[in-house]
Amino acid sequence: MRFGVIGSGSWATALAKVLTDNNHPVNWWIRHESAIRHIQARHHNPQYLHSVYFDTNLLSMSTSVPDIVAASDCLVVAVPSAYTAETLATLDKKALEGKLVLSAIKGILPEQNLLLNDYLVQEFNFDKANYFTVMGPCHAEEVAAEKLSYLTFSGLDETRTREIASYFSTDYLNTVINQDVYGVQFAAILKNIYALGAGIAHGLEYGDNFLSVLIANCADEMAGFLQKVGIRHIEVGIHSGSEDPISHKKSANYAASVYLGDLLVTCYSLYSRNRTFGNMIGKGYSVKSAQLEMNMVAEGYNASKCIYLINKEIGAEMPIADMVYRILWENVKAEDGFKQIEPYLV
């Protein structure tokens, strides 16, 4: 299978590393020609994950999205959600026919307020059976350092999902598969919003005791939203399938890893850009100042507005996500927002 990676940020770089570590050639779309020249000359991304060195014989890099798409069987889309539509705009409406798309996006396309799979169906008449996702719990920095991590691959076609996952399996990456395409995407979006909230709380100098209660309530709030949009099998401790007859391993519980695990690591980890962004807001930075200071995209910022709008139709009880939205988009002071939320936490 010929892989094309769309994007050159930290997550795209980490996924390109995994594929080339497994000796798979990669067609890589990189926005700037100067970055391509740097990788060709010095074998690492000039802006992200400097410790990752590539065998450039396995890389075919281009600034042309159509060229990368044409040369690839499976497209790993790993650009920030805010720039996804713009990045794909140069494609012909039939360019994705027969292609597989593996989404590594943990956000909603903000202008359209759509998940990537729904956007592809709308714009390219894309076959949903050819759409897959790769989610955490996983930080690019730890993949770069080859620290044991777990990736969850989702797709409607279990056989094809397992095949795609096999290309990313290494001695430092374990892979899990499921068919929960919508659930894992919404969970990834929500955990970024909640990580912003955890960061704000840290910036306001709340302690670990409060943070533990806040994040536990975030998990409960997330489950309520997922149930409202029709997602099932999201309870920790519930294993819907039978155990493996040889290994006696229990069937996977996706709530424990891709839902709860990703929420925890994003809320607590110092690598989390959403937590970092929220921490700045809690310390008094304006949204604009925090964005300029980070020079990286915190997906939870746009996602907080998108989920707020979606939930107007869904009607889930989401006081924490609503509070994060109001702090970021309606200029509610962080300390006032948290004072209002304290009575809701149990």
Q: Which domains does the chain have, with CATH numbers?
A: 3-179 (3.40.50.720), 183-344 (1.10.1040.10)
Please give the pLDDT value at position 255. Answer: 57
Please give the pLDDT value at position 102. Answer: 98
For the chain of 346 residues, list the mean pLDDT of each consecutive stretch of 10: 96 96 97 96 94 96 98 97 95 96 95 96 97 92 92 94 96 92 93 97 96 95 91 62 52 61 90 94 94 84 96 95 97 96 89
d(CA 276, CA 314): 29
d(CA 166, CA 337): 45
Please give the pLDDT value at position 344. Answer: 86
CB 27 within 8 A of CB 65: no
180: amino acid identity, one letter: D
Torsion sign (Cα): 82, 87, 90, 93: negative
Q: Which residues pair with 155 in a beta bridge?
A: 132
CB 84 within 8 A of CB 106: no
Name the 3-class secondary structure at 149. Answer: strand
Query: Within a 10 A sphere around the Cβ of 266, how many other Cβ atoms?
Result: 30
Please give the pLDDT value at position 247. Answer: 45
CB 75 within 8 A of CB 1: no
d(CA 133, CA 175): 12
Please identify which residue in the block is written with the tokens 């990045």. Answer: 87
Q: Which residues pair with 29 in a beta bridge?
A: 6, 62
The C-alpha angle 98, 26, 32, rounded to 5 degrees, equals 105
Backbone angles phi, psi at 99, to 5 degrees: -90, 155
CB 178 within 8 A of CB 187: no
